[in-house]
Amino acid sequence: MSKPYRLGSGGRLVDRTKKVSFTFDGKSVSGFQGDTVASAVLASGQRVFGRSFKYHRPRGLVGLGSEEMNALVGVGLGARHEPNLRATQVEIFNGMAAVSQNRWPSLNWDVGAINNQLSRFFPGGFYYKTFMWPQSFWKHVYEPFIRRAAGLGKAPEGRDPDSYEQIHVHCDVLVIGGGIAGLAAAEAAAANGAKVVIADENPQLGGLADISGGAIDSQSLVDWTAAKGAKLYAAENVHVLNRTTVVGHWHHNFVMLFERVADHDPALLSQGVPRHRLWKVRAHQVILATGSIERPIAFANNDRPGVMLASAARGMVERYGVAPGSNGVVFTNNDDAYQTAIVLKHAGVGVRVADSRARAEGALPSKAREMGIPVDTGSVISAVNTTWGGLNITGVKIASYRKGQGRVIKETKAEADFVAMSGGWNPALHLWCHNGGKIRFDDALQAFRPDKHHDHITAIGAANGHFGLHQILEEAYHAGSKLSGHGNLHPVPTAQQAEERPLEPIWFAPATGKYNEGNKHFIDYQNDVTAADLELAQREGYESVEHTKRYTTFGMATDQGKTSNINGLGVISEASGKTIPEVGITTFRPPYTPFSFGSVAGVLTKDLFLPIRRTAIYQWHVDHGAVFEPVGQWRRAYTYPKAGETNHQSIDREILGVRNKVGLLDASTLGKIEIKGPDAAEFLDRMYTNMFSTLKIGKCRYGLMMNELGFLTDDGVTVRLSDDHFLMHTTSGGADRISAWLEEWLQTEWTHYKVFVTNVTENWSQFAIAGPRARDVLKKLDPSFDLSNEALPHMSFVEGKLGAYPVRVYRISFSGELSYEVATPSSYGLGLWKDIVAAGAEFGLEPYGTEALHVLRAEKGYIVVGDETDGTTTPIDVGLEGLVSKKKADFLGKRSLEQSFLKGPNRKQLVGLLTEDPNDVLPDGAYAVRHVKDKPPMEMIGQVTSSYRSPTLGRSIAMALIENGRNRMGETISFPLPGGKVVRAKITDTVFYDKEGAKLNV
């Protein structure tokens, strides 16, 4: 393909000796090293980059950098595909595959463009007005329609093969933006010895200096910025980040930076360099040198491919040696855009200027006239003529204009194949606003600029609304000096620059027809919002700008209103008769530009997605075929199926093993907290519902804990090691929480208690050896203590040795069988575990998992906090009123539990359930209803909290919280299940097995 728009020479960033070829929509395109997708595709003669969101109008390039809102492309194939990248920021490399978006079947011929013909049916608020009725249309009509027709880009396919990471960094001064102002501020701060981070979103520093006229200390701006950049790169106290977008500013100067480390170079990716890196910067001072963004002008059909910002046209020529066309019109309301006319003329491109101001007599317009560029003042572009479908501009119409003029009467045709527009410049104050910075409207700029900010952030240069070179330098050097602590003022170099005359706002360039007569004046290109939509919203009464924003979707696209914001406010202002400050401004939200999910996740994916906790026996469980279940962050062995066994069969075998022989459970996850001090016993009396000060040394007691609302939060067995020393067990998930809870009360309420609390959970491996042969197994392990029922009865404790292993042994049971919990320091855990397995072999010992544990305890009616309780369950509800002390004056939750409504007769109470059909296993959470009806709603009277098939009893068992349950013993209640089946179950007490507890005391 020929390259109609590549100029014969020029292009500061491209290396014409290095050809790069890539594909755009499958077609091969070649460009040069240094090109972006935007410049290379434009150079190839392709102007259409995508279709618009709502109307599917063909769209071309508008901007030069991150402000681009039309030319969004998807880059990469398959799993490496990334949608919605701005073509102006994507650097090309050999073999890159880029695709346009939001078009079907092709860019130049798009079916959805019919929306454009139907556009009078797509007014402002279209979504709210249309997709409302009937409701049934949503699923089958509206949603598929919206999904197909809308959608920016497509998601990548498959797992991302690249790596991502995050890093924290602290600095004295963070400079955001590497243009003239940023470089100057960074230089001044660094000279004072401050630790400086400077970040810029582009591959090279310099900002827009290369397309701005002027000189510093008689050096060209390009040379000056290059020299300053090199100095910063070399400095010991500066970290320079290029290709790095500052995406957000949060409280206390927490700033997030998104670095595209390897996107531009596949060689880096193949070496394993992280693709993106997210920087979490904490800065004492933030200097905002983000520059400014040029405004489009709202004229009829201002979205046609070939209409771009004046700075973009200039940048294409200067940076890439690419002309935006062969013959164009610069449409402006300010002097700055004359630079574009001058640059185009120099490059041999035909150009004329239409200036909406009555007079243009600054230095730049004068120079343009001298060069022979025709300048029409008091003129606007009133129409853009195109070939069929709007693909190519064939000419424009220029009409004379006076401020306030409503409709164009007379217009003249001018040949043109592109338009370079400039409605002035907006300070890029998005980051200023992310964290509550105030802004104010500047009449001279006709734009908002930073005002006050409560954080340590200072805006300088164009970001602060200052466009004069000398003013920028002075402000930047002063800020850099002042904010770097020492305050030594850095000398300010002298600047040379053409004088510029003020702009005059133009929010709407009139056309011959009204808003909707074939003319669209686009305000928000990305969301297809026109001036007419905003005007309609005003007529419909959307007075608040925030409402107008949501109603029309103006400023809500991924570009967050970078180019559209002020123009939209201008239109609203004219339509409502309010001034722009009265209209107000919508909120800019992070991110400044979209950034990747990969960088948000960093390395925390796959096995690092969540912190996973392993006991010391974990690998043994894996090696013995355990199936795992998560318990908090722990991974616990759920069951150990043998070859050919289902999980159910395996669980049944494990349960019967414990009931008939002996089983071994890894209970290391149980919380263990040492509590010691002269006030330890009294303290425990405050924490538990029941009494611990009466517990005898060497004895264990089961305790219940409530929060201050009177609801159960934890339970466990505590042993008294000595008079002032206790060891508390908590639930597996509760160790950290309960240990912090104890500390909190000691530190904040009972500060006079002399008690120390140390969480020793992880120091111990702990195993339950449960079953009638448990004592036999322990005897084989050479215990240093007497295991007899007399010496070590149920609920007692002994410390000693099993062979060589130091152990703490608790005779406690969660299965109802003879049971010992044996704890040994974790480093010995695996060794002791293996010894127990070996010693138990002759008694039929097998390991059992958490599901068997749960069935065993449910057969005994033991509760699990979190299963039988839901955060609103009291000890009385679960039938443990006996564990709530009546003697103690105060303990946590006591006063709340005394409230009448927690004692009312209609509380849900824990009961047992036996289904009529013993083979029916009720689902967990199944609801009981007062009366079964054909369909919901039905009045619910409670729910199943635990439900299992009990191999011991050969039938199903369940527990449930049922309204007034304890007074309904023997009653049969109904559980309607999804699908229509109704299971009926009889209410019983909760103990299904060994009601007398005979098996415990053997």
Partner 1 sequence: MLVVKCPVCGAEGDETDFHAGGQAHVRRPATTDPAHVTDEEQRDYLFIRINPKGLHFERWRCDRGCGKWFHAARDTVTMEFKAFYGITELPPMDVIAQAKGQWAEYFEHRLKSEHKA
Partner 2 sequence: MSELSYQSPLAGITAPSGLSISIREITERGMIDLRGLTSDAAFMSAVKGVLGMDLPTRPRTSVSWGDVKVLWLSIDQWLILSSRSKAHELLAILRDALKGIHSLVVDVSDMRAVIRIEGEGCREVLMKGTSLDLLDKEYVQGCCRRMRYAEIAALLDVVEDNVFDIYVFRSYTHYTWNFLCATAKAPAKLKLFGAQEVPA
- Of residues 432 through 461, those in contact with partner 1 by CB under 8 A are 436, 454-455
- 919 lies in the binding site for partner 1 (CB under 8 A): no
Distance CA 177, CA 622 (A): 53
Angle at 245 between CA 287 and CA 78, to 5 degrees: 175
Cβ distance 61 to 46 under 8 Å?
A: no
Looking at 866-970, list the stretches that DSSP marks H as alpha helix, in order from N- to C-terminal side.
894-897
Window 576-615: residues binding partner 2 (CB under 8 A): 602-604, 607-608, 610-615
Q: Answer yes or no whether residue 708 interacts with partner 1 by CB under 8 A.
A: yes
Residue 750 binding partner 1, by CB under 8 A: yes
Q: Which residues in 782-841 contact partner 1 (CB under 8 A)? A: none
Please choose which of partner 1, partner 2, none residue 722 contacts, taking the beta carbon within 5 to 8 angstroms, the exact cut-off set by kind: none
Binds 252, which of partner 1, partner 2, none (CB < 5 to 8 A, cut-off by type)? partner 1
Which range binds partner 2 by CB under 8 A, 417-425, 821-829, 882-890, 902-910? 821-829
Residue 747 in the binding site for partner 1 (CB under 8 A): yes
For residues 361 and 497, give the distance between their C-alpha atoms in angstroms, rounded to a whole number: 16
Which pair of tokens denotes residue 70? 């039309």
Binding-site string for partner 2 from residue 106 to residue 145, where x marks contact by CB under 8 A and - marks none = ----------------------------------------
Task: Report the C-alpha gap between 384 and 579 in whole angstroms.
Answer: 30
Minimum distance between the CB of residue 754 and partner 2, rounded to whole angstroms? 5
Site residues for partner 2, window 622-641 (CB under 8 A)?
A: 633-634
676 sits near partner 2 (criterion: CB under 8 A) = yes
- Give the residue, chosen from 132, 141, 804, 977, that forms a contact with partner 2 under the rule CB under 8 A: 804
Cβ closest to partner 1, residue 345 vs residue 456: 456
Does residue 709 interact with partner 1 by CB under 8 A?
A: yes
Q: Is 904 in the site for partner 1 (CB under 8 A)?
A: no
When asked if residue 896 is in the footprint of partner 2 (CB under 8 A), the reply is no
Give the DSSP letter string of 542-582: --SHHHHHHHHTTT-STTTTTTTHHHHHHHHHHHHT--HHH
722 binds partner 2 (CB under 8 A): no
CB of 774 to partner 2, least distance (A): 17
Kindly report the number of other CB atoms within 10 A of residue 642's CB atom: 11
- CA–CA separation, 347 and 969 (whole Å): 96
- What is the token pair recorded at 1000? 């415990």
Instruction: Give the binding range for partner 1 (CB under 8 A) out of 117-125, 302-310, 440-448, 748-756.
Output: 748-756
Q: Which does 894 bind (CB under 5 to 8 A by kind): partner 1, partner 2, none?
A: partner 1
x/- track of binding to partner 2 for residues 726-765 (CB under 8 A): ----------------------------x-x-x-xxxxx-
790 binds, among partner 1, partner 2, none (CB under 5 to 8 A by kind): none
One of 748, 788, 906, 919 touching partner 1 (CB under 8 A): 748
List the single partner that 634 binds among partner 1, partner 2, none, CB under 5 to 8 Å by kind: partner 2
Give the count of beta carbons closer than 10 Å to the beta carbon of residue 154.
13
For 505, list phi and psi in degrees, rounded to 5: -65, 145
Torsion sign over Cα 201, 204, 207, 208: negative
* Residue 756, contacted partner among partner 2, partner 1, none, CB below 5-8 A by kind: partner 2
Spatial CB neighbours of 612, under 8 Å, sequence gap ≥ 6: 633, 634, 635
Taking CB under 8 A as the criterion, the residue among 834, 895, 933, 995 binding partner 1 is: 895
Classify residue 333 by its DSSP letter. S
Among 137, 250, 597, 609, contact with partner 1 (rule: CB under 8 A)? 250
The yes or no reply on residue 890 touching partner 1 (CB under 8 A) is yes
The only residue of 619, 646, 967, 1001 in contact with partner 2, by rule CB under 8 A = 619
Sign of CA dihedral 878, 880, 881, 885: negative
Rounded CA-CA distance 926/956 in Å is 14
| Interstrand relation of 627-631 and 634-639 (parallel, antiparallel or unpaired) | antiparallel
Only segment of 64-72, 328-336, 742-750, 846-854 that touches partner 1 (CB under 8 A): 742-750
589 binds partner 1 (CB under 8 A): no
Task: By CB under 8 A, name the one of 361, 443, 744, 924 that touches partner 1.
Answer: 744
Q: Are 985 and 972 in contact (CB under 8 A)?
A: yes
Instruction: State in angstroms the smallest separation of the CB of 711 from partner 1.
Output: 11
Residues 933-952, mask of contacts with partner 2 (x by CB under 8 A): --------------------
Residue 758 interacts with, from partner 1, partner 2, none (CB under 5-8 Å by kind): partner 2
CB closer to partner 2 out of 397 and 808: 808
Which residue lies nearer to partner 1 by CB, 578 or 888? 888
Cβ–Cβ contacts within 10 Å for residue 389, how many? 14
Q: Is 240 in the site for partner 2 (CB under 8 A)?
A: yes
Q: Which of 287, 98, 166 is closest to 602 using CA atoms? A: 166
User: Which one, 442 or 724, has the nearer CB to partner 2?
Assistant: 724
User: Which H or E run contains 600?
Assistant: helix 597-601
Task: Tell me which of 237, 385, 400, 558 binds partner 2, using CB under 8 A.
Answer: 237
DSSP string, 363-409: HHHHHHHHTT--EEESEEEEEEEESGGG-SEEEEEEEE--TT--S--
Distances (CA, A) of 70 to 50, 308, 397, 880, 946: 7, 10, 24, 67, 57
The interface partner of residue 128, options being partner 2, partner 1, none and the CB cut-off 5 to 8 Å by kind, is none
How far is residue 170's CA from residue 448's CA, in Å, rounded to a whole number? 31
- Would you count residue 222 as binding partner 2 (CB under 8 A)? no
Stretch that binds partner 1, among 359-367, 627-635, 747-755, 780-788 (CB under 8 A): 747-755
With CB cut-offs between 5 and 8 Å by kind, which of partner 1, partner 2, none does residue 764 bind?
Answer: partner 2
* Two structure tokens written together for 886: 């009546």
Asked whether position 972 contacts partner 1 by CB under 8 A, the answer is no
- Asked if residue 169 binds partner 1 (CB under 8 A), the reply is no
* Residue among 591, 690, 705, 702 nearest 888 (CA): 690
Is there binding between residue 754 and partner 1 (CB under 8 A)? no
- The only residue of 834, 895, 930, 995 in contact with partner 2, by rule CB under 8 A: 834
- Contact assessment for residue 223 and residue 216, using Cβ atoms and an 8 Å cutoff: no
Burial of 120 (0-12, 13-18, 19+ CB in 10 A): exposed
Half-sphere exposure for 759 (CA within 13 Å, toward CB):
17
Cα 540 vs. chain centroid, distance in angstroms? 35
Is residue 886 within the footprint of partner 1 (CB under 8 A)? no
Q: Is 168 in the site for partner 2 (CB under 8 A)?
A: yes
The DSSP bridge pattern shows strands 447-450 and 663-666 to be unpaired
Choosing among partner 1, partner 2, none, which partner's interface includes residue 934 (Cβ < 5 to 8 Å by kind)? none
| Cα 869 from Cα 773, distance rounded (Å) | 33
Four-residue CA torsion sign, 254, 256, 257, 262: positive
613 binds, among partner 2, partner 1, none (CB under 5 to 8 A by kind): partner 2
- Calculate Rg over the CA atoms of the chain: 38
233 binds partner 2 (CB under 8 A): yes
Least distance CB 559 / partner 2 (angstroms)? 27
Residues 272-291 interacting with partner 1 (rule: CB under 8 A): 280, 282
Q: Which residues bind partner 1 (CB under 8 A)?
A: 250-252, 254, 280, 282, 436, 454-455, 708-709, 740, 743-744, 747-751, 889-890, 894-896, 899
